[in-house]
Amino acid sequence: MEYRGVVLDVDGTVVRGDEAIPGALDGLAAISDAGLDRLFVSNNPTKAPPAYEARLRRAGIHADADEIVTSGTTTTAYLTENHPNARTFCIGESGLHDQLRDAGLELVGASDDPDVVVVAIDREFHFDDLRDAYVALRDGARFYGTDPDIIIPTAAGDIPGSGAIIKAVAGVAEREPDAILGKPSRVAQRFVLDRLGLAPEDVLVVGDRLDTDIAFGLDAGMSTAVVRTGVTDDAALARSEYEPDFVLDSLGDIERLLSE
């Protein structure tokens, strides 16, 4: 099949920490040689695209900010469209706060009658944050999560992600989020396809997570390839409800898909 574009997960697929995963640079070169449009799409909401651009460059990967989409990108775009100027309470790290503020959203405290509550990974998450989220949600504010990733890979090993904190907040609030806005959501699908300007059947998604990257592609009608360089192994493949079109040892193996 001939593709016109490729969607690339970042952590576990292209980089681990600030280093390129073995095979990733070869895979990116094959994508470039094939003339495909590309987007790097991450469920990490803590860094805006310019910061991701710098991180990828440290790994030897030259990407422009407009080639990068994060769950922070999709969250701010959704809130700007659906809740412009909303009073927003956010559990998340400073990078996400900055993105929301730059989008024109007013960040307020839990007791300041917020319209919207946004929850994401916060490596300084504390009992007081859980209490504040309960206070912010008890009067009916809308509840959004940036992404569903329970565990995320880092250079130092796997750590709890946004999904773990979202579940904690959902438990104390006794309600599920109104929406989760990163992969594999329909919000993220529409945003990515609009950014590429391509039909889903013309796009290949490559990632290391079955429940986000592969689910994202399958639900949107894109082709999918899972790599073994992140969180997915044979046992995970065997028990998953999501069946990718291709299984690759690394992104470096993408050349054979593009040449078939």
Q: Give the pLDDT of residue 231.
A: 87
State the Cα–Cα distance between residues 119 and 45, nearest whole angstrom: 10
What the block records as the tokens of 189 is: 């699908």
State the Cα–Cα distance between residues 166 and 170, nearest whole angstrom: 6
Contact 137, 153 (CB under 8 A): no
Q: Give the pLDDT of residue 259.
A: 82
Q: Give the pLDDT of residue 17.
A: 87
What domains can you pick out in the chain, each with its CATH number?
A: 5-43+183-259 (3.40.50.1000), 83-180 (3.40.50.1000)
What the block records as the tokens of 48 is: 């805006």
What the block records as the tokens of 156 is: 């130092």
pLDDT tens per residue, range 76-87: 999 999 999 899
- Angle value at C-alpha 53, between 48 and 58, nearest 5 degrees: 130
Q: Give the pLDDT of residue 129.
A: 97
Give pLDDT tens digits along the chain (260 positions): 789 999 999 999 999 989 999 999 999 999 999 999 999 999 999 999 999 999 999 999 999 999 999 999 999 999 999 999 899 999 999 999 999 999 999 999 999 999 999 999 999 999 999 999 999 999 899 999 999 999 887 778 888 999 999 999 999 999 999 999 999 999 999 999 999 999 999 999 999 999 999 999 999 999 999 999 988 989 999 999 999 999 999 999 999 999 87
Q: Burial of 83 by CB count in 10 Å (0-12 exposed, 13-18 middle, 19+ buried)?
A: middle
